[in-house]
Amino acid sequence: KQEVTQIPAALSVPEGENLVLNCSFTDSAIYNLQWFRQDPGKGLTSLLLIQSSQREQTSGRLNASLDKSSGRSTLYIAASQPGDSATYLCAVKAASGSRLTFGEGTQLTVNP
Amino acid sequence: GAVVSQHPSWVICKSGTSVKIECRSLDFQATTMFWYRQFPKQSLMLMATSNEGSKATYEQGVEKDKFLINHASLTLSTLTVTSAHPEDSSFYICSARVLTSGPYEQYFGPGTRLTVT
């Protein structure tokens, strides 16, 4: 059974800092990995999706990497802003039509 | 991008009553919809998967008679919480999978906050 773990559970940083969020998964046979953002009381917004054949994806100040063999992914946020404050979830998919398995999330607070 | 809506966004009901939550894919057809439940400061827990025109598949531990799911069309799925109790209070999120395959297969709704008093 796939298990997804995110470290740290919470992170507080000053504005402008670069930061890394970690995600690990127990079964390396994944189809893709996705990072989501969730604001309090809201649904999920997809940030980046990395296919199993890819090593990284970038969007603006966000960069996600994937190391399938070690079962790890990182989400790098450059020059953090207070607006980045949210919970970040990673999720893996075992096969094209299968379910997403979510991590517990990292609650990020960026202080002005 | 694909948009998924949920209605209502929040609802308060009395214990023992039933509540229906709608999930709609606004600009695409969804053969499959997923219903998740999320407790405060916890991740999403998959409750059930529903395919249009067929019975939903429930995850282990989820009471199918309590959480009724109907996926009557390619754009609408409903979750009915029957005889709600305070422990059913939670944030319910639906997700829809596009008809044609692609990397971004699932799109999430904004969620419905249910409070049972």
Give the pLDDT confidence score for residue A107 in this predicted structure.
96
The shortest CB-CB distance from A100 to any of B42, B103, B106 is to: B106
| Separation between Cα atoms, residue A102 and residue A62, nearest integer Å | 19
Which residue in A41, A35, A32, A45 sits closest to A93, CA to CA? A32
Helix/strand/coil (H, E, C) string of chain B?
CCCEEEECCEEEECCCCCEEEEEEECCCCEEEEEEEEECCCCCEEEEEEEECCCCCEECCCCCCCCEEEEEEECCEEEEEECCCCHHHCEEEEEEEEECCCCCCCEEECCCEEEEEC
Supply the pLDDT for residue B103.
59
Give the pLDDT confidence of A40-96 residue by residue, as tens digits.
889 999 999 999 999 999 999 999 999 999 999 999 999 999 999 999 999 999 876
pLDDT over 60 (residue A25): yes
Write phi, then psi, for B86 (nearest 5 degrees): -50, -30
Letter for the amino acid at A94?
A: A
Cα of B109 to nearest chain A Cα, Å: 6
Distance, CA of A91 to CA of A106 (rounded, Å): 12
Between chains, do B113 and A43 touch, taking CB under 8 Å as contact?
no
Split at pLDDT 50, 70, 90, the class of A99 is confident
pLDDT(A17) > 60: yes
- H or E element that contains A75: strand A72-77
What is the band of B27 on the pLDDT scale with cuts at 50, 70, 90? confident
SS3 A84: helix
> What is the interface size between A and B, counted as CB pairs within 8 Å?
45
Please tell me the distance from the alpha carbon of residue B97 to that of residue B3, in angstroms, as a whole number.
11
Answer with the residue of higher pLDDT: A41 or A18.
A18
Mean pLDDT of A96-106: 87
Confidence of residue B54 (pLDDT cuts 50, 70, 90): confident
pLDDT of B101 above 80? no
Averaged over B33-59, what is the pLDDT?
90
What is the CA angle A41-B2-A57, rounded to 5? 85
B48 interfacial to chain A (CB closer than 8 Å): no
Write the residue in A43, A46, A89 that is nearest to B111 by C-beta.
Answer: A43
